[in-house]
Amino acid sequence: MRTVTCPGCGVAVAIGYPRCPKCHAALPQPARSRRATARDELLTGGTSVEPSGGYRGLALIGVVVLGLIVAVVVMTRRGGDRGGARAPSDDRDDRADRADDRTGGTRADDVDDLPELPPATQTGGGAAAADPLAGAIRDLSEALRTERLWSKVSHDGTEIVVESSLCGDTAMHEVLAQQVAPLHDAGARSLRCQEPHGGLVFETDL
């Protein structure tokens, strides 16, 4: 280990201590060697290499250019998305796609090609032709079919029963709200919406 002699007490002290541990006198520090620069090496005839700062500058320029390209691409795509207004039919098709995904069904491209819904049935007994709710149930079934909310509509006495996997859909609540008055006028007094397997989602008075 290299040492330096303390000028105050003469004790050998390892290099690195600013003061003598014994008498606390300031210790002389060895001169630091200065790193030769590229200019010094050229002047002394040595071989020098290009400072690394040049490469870092080129790399920084490349990163900035790449960032500008990415920003232009992102802004172009966003502008294209905002440029075209969504038609109401697009929202309806998106809602139908989500409904098909939840029910596992296949979405038809044309309303005319959609499968016919089963006719409304009466669970409480009696002939459907003599049932005053038959017309209101038929209108409700048609409204749900138009919105692609596949459901089976029936009634049990004065209670309307809607069986569908889309009972929680916002569009379902909107259609049912529009049909409350006709159903009430036809004699219905309550409505429940349940899953096809029978799980109740909600029930309300009309």
The arithmetic mean of pLDDT across residues 14-19, rounded, is 83
Residue 69 clears pLDDT 90, i.e. is over it: yes
Tell me which of 3.30.70, 2.60.40, 1.20.1250, 1.10.3470 is the CATH number of domain 131-206: 3.30.70
With beta carbons less than 8 A apart as the criterion, state whether 109 and 148 touch: no
Which has more pLDDT, 139 or 15? 139
Residue 29 clears pLDDT 70, i.e. is over it: yes
**Gap between the Cα atoms of 151 and 153, Å rounded:** 6
- Which pLDDT value is given to residue 46? 46
Three-state secondary-structure class, residue 41: helix
**Gap between the Cα atoms of 183 and 191, Å rounded:** 9
Give me the residue spans of the domains in the chain: 1-30, 131-206
Mean of the per-residue pLDDT values of the chain: 74
Judged on CB neighbours under 10 Å (0-12, 13-18, 19+), 186 is buried
The arithmetic mean of pLDDT across residues 15-40, rounded, is 74
Tens-digit pLDDT profile for residues 75-120: 888 876 665 555 555 566 666 566 556 555 444 444 445 445 445 4
Is the whole-model pTM more than 0.85?
no
- Which pLDDT value is given to residue 6? 86
Which has more pLDDT, 156 or 107? 156
The mean-pLDDT minimum among 28-32, 43-47, 138-142, 169-173 falls in 43-47
H or E stretch at 195: none
